[in-house]
Amino acid sequence: MINRFKKRAAIALLALFSFGAAISNAAESSAQPRPVYDQLTPENSQLLLIDYQPQYAFATQSITIDALLNNATALTKVAQAFKLPTVITTITAKAYAGPTFPQIQSAAPDVSVIDRTPINAWAEPRVRDALKKAGRKKLIIAGLWTNNCVMLPALAALKEGYEVYVVTDASGDPDAASHERAVQRLVQAGAVPITWLPVLLELQADWTRDVTNGQVGKIINEHAGAMATGAFYKQFVQKP
């Protein structure tokens, strides 16, 4: 009788252990970010620019303001050249943070800026509705600061099923550690870190086509100095 009881107890414990292990494995599996394999195209991508405002630029130390302005402006021009739906948002522009950088606004003159009060832009219905209306699954995000105003809507978008690309060299933080930790958290959640020039190259896809009426070459000349210099030199040495 005692042996039979021990045998039943052992079977029950084994079943309980197996059940617990299955739950644990399922949880670990569901926690893994979904890989992203297909590339950005003009048909599947849209852009969200967040809080390129003076007050946040003043305190940004993870990247120089000159580099930030160059990269963010280039990214904005890329989106317009390839006709990506673009949402630009600010936070408390009149009360505290100031307007969008004029370079950004000039690069996207037809885009109306959405001003909001929630730190998480995803909490603003006008932002969510504009992104949903575009119907593009790949969401490219950049702005100030990476550790909250970029990260929070990026995490929310991932939860909603978007494939999120965070443009790290067009974003910044008050210090390098904050920027790095934010990028790590985003990658852990499934976001794809990228820089602005690869965005252009993925969208271009093939140098034999010109879908932007020469705008890509102009963007490279104005914002990608090393690449532009190389192209100039190649033309020079090929002259008869």
Distance CA 197, CA 219 (A): 10
Confirm whether 149 is a catalytic residue: yes
User: Could you say which of 149, 170, 182, 199 is catalytic?
Assistant: 149
Distance CA 162, CA 108 (A): 23
Name residue, tokens 């040495």. Answer: 237
SS (H, E, C) the chain: CHHHHHHHHHHHHHHHHHHHHHHHHHHHHHHCCCCCCCCCCCCCEEEEEECCCHHHHHCCCCCCHHHHHHHHHHHHHHHHHCCCCEEEEEECHHHHHCCCCHHHHHHCCCCCEEEECCCCHHHCHHHHHHHHHHCCCEEEEEEECHHHHHHHHHHHHHHCCCEEEEEHHHCECCCHHHHHHHHHHHHHHCCEEECHHHHHHHHHCCCCCCCCCCHHHHHHHHHCHHHHHHHHHHHHHCCC
Which pair of structure tokens corresponds to residue 47? 């852009």
Give the active site residues: 149
